[in-house]
Amino acid sequence: MTPDNLDRERWERAALDALERGGLAAVAVEPLARALGVTKGSFYWHFKSRADLIAATVARWERLHVDGPLQAAGAIDDPRERLMELLGRAGAKPPSIFIRLLDAVDEPVVRAAVARAAQERVAFLAKAFRELGLTPARARRQALLAYSTYVGRAHLARDAPELLGDQAALSRHIAEQLIG
Amino acid sequence: MTPDNLDRERWERAALDALERGGLAAVAVEPLARALGVTKGSFYWHFKSRADLIAATVARWERLHVDGPLQAAGAIDDPRERLMELLGRAGAKPPSIFIRLLDAVDEPVVRAAVARAAQERVAFLAKAFRELGLTPARARRQALLAYSTYVGRAHLARDAPELLGDQAALSRHIAEQLIG
DNA sequence: CCCTCACCATACGGCACCGTATTGACAGCG
DNA sequence: CGCTGTCAATACGGTGCCGTATGGTGAGGG
């Protein structure tokens, strides 16, 4: 036992990088093998198939970029500050991996993960808005609105960045409008 | 002269449909030929290459789904109503072709069109907000916010529709928050 | 000292697509 | 009737990827 999995890990890291840079199409066996300086022989030792690698990559993203940040923000007591943290961070570093995944929802594994992420994030936001005193229904709608802006901004950051102008000012504007 | 272009038109229509259903990857010569009941021989008569078809398809989308609606809304005098029209329509029919294009911004032609669309739409919204009395800077930020929600909602409609719940209520909520 | 086993290389067949001939079919006109 | 131009079918070669089969290689255990 104790499979130290260190080379499998290497493949997974490379896959996540490739996803960010070239989309899911770049999470392909032969290109990755070239990038890693090995051949497919290695890959098919560590993974059952390309689908297997994709599943692992998506799961990795979910751990690192969905559950992680949500747990971190959950440690903040004040709901207003918690929201600021989440919506502010959205402005700072545009989550390009996320958009790459949205580009690939035709893959059922990806669609499932993306849907789960949306569900968790909206629920998290809704809870914060409830703590701010909004009614449950209103809090949920406000959460959907906030999450929509998050996704939309990520898109603009990638596809029309020159449009965004002063990011910090926009972040303040959005926070003011949505959190109040 | 007078190339009646009727069969080229058929290819273009089919391409736009395929784009909506299967993304840009589905805008492929051989699959489309199969769907149309012809062979590639026809295609390479009407088009120089696949890139040519893609360019034509994107241009078609831009005419039908960007410039068209914007001109239509431009006919509304009252800026509040104009905004309602645009943001409301966003809730009614989720523009899945648009999302498919976002999925394909790696293609430079697509990226250019998407960026142009964003630029035009944001400018249009900003003008409306200015007419509502906002300062230019504030109007622009508000326009960016509104457009972000548009994109984000389109994403949710496709990838996590069960999350959206009552669309009409959400539309009202968003309008209330953004237009006031 | 050899053998096993984890690990990787090589080489192959298959598939789906792009693009290029080359060859027909058919309509209108002289 | 034959010629020409428009359009489509067939057939081919090329590319990039997936997955499999099979053959090394080197380190540790008996």
Among A43, A5, A157, A35, CA closest to A91: A157
Residues A155/A99, Cβ–Cβ less than 8 Å: yes
Instruction: Tell me the pLDDT band of A171, cut-offs 50, 70 and 90.
Output: very high
For residues B113 and B55, give the distance between their C-alpha atoms in angstroms, rounded to a whole number.
Answer: 10
CA-nearest of A43, A71, A83, A76 to A175 is A83
Least confident of A134-138, A146-150, B37-41, B111-115: B37-41
**Does the CA dihedral B116-B118-B122-B124 come out positive or negative?**
positive
Q: Please give the CATH superfamily to which domain B6-178 belongs.
A: Tetracycline Repressor, domain 2 (1.10.357.10)
Q: Check CB contact under 8 Å for B144 and A164.
A: yes
pLDDT tens, A5-43? 668 899 999 999 999 999 999 999 999 999 999 999 899
Beta-carbon-side half-sphere exposure of residue A148 (alpha carbons within 13 Å): 32
Residues of chain B with pLDDT under 70: 1-6, 90-91
- Name the 3-class secondary structure at B37: coil
Domain boundaries, chain A: 55-178
For B95: left if phi > 0, alpha if psi spans -120 to 50, otherwise beta; the answer is beta
What is the average pLDDT value for chain A, to the nearest integer?
A: 92
What residue has its CA nearest to the C1' of C20? B44
Nearest to B54 by CA among B24, B78, B20: B24
The Cα B90–Cα B99 span in angstroms is 13
Task: Please give the torsion angle defined by the CA atoms of residues A69, A178, B105 and A52, in that order, rounded to the nearest 10 degrees.
Answer: 30
Q: Which of B23, B119, B147 sits opposite A152 (nearest CB)?
A: B147
pLDDT of A3 strictly over 50: no
DSSP-derived letter for residue A64 is: I
Residue A25 CA and nucleotide C9 C1' are separated, in Å, by: 25
Q: What dihedral angle (degrees, nearest 10) is formed by the CA atoms of B33, B39, B44, B49? A: 40
The verdict on a CB contact (< 8 Å) between B115 and A160 is yes
> Residue A151 has what pLDDT?
95
pLDDT at B93: 76
**Is the pLDDT higher at A1 or at A82?**
A82
Q: What is the rounded distance in angstroms from the CA atom of residue B62 to the CA atom of residue B87? A: 19
The token duo for B55 is 């360019």
Has residue A2 got a pLDDT over 70?
no
Residues of A in contact with B177 (CB under 8 A): 142, 145, 177-178
Residue A28 (CA) to nucleotide C17 (C1'), in angstroms, measures 17
Q: Interface of chain A against chain B, CB under 8 Å?
A: 22-23, 102-106, 111, 114-115, 118-119, 122, 137-138, 140-142, 144-145, 147-153, 155-156, 158-160, 162-165, 169-170, 173-174, 177-178
B165 close to A126: Cβ distance less than 8 angstroms: no
10 Å CB burial of residue B155 (0-12, 13-18, 19+) is buried
Q: Amino acid identity, residue A47?
A: F
What's the rounded mean pLDDT across residues A113-124? 98
Measured CA to C1', what is the nucleotide nearest B44? C19
**Helix, strand, coil percentages, rounded to 5, for chain A:** 80, 0, 20
pLDDT tens across A85-111, in order? 988 876 677 789 999 999 999 999 999
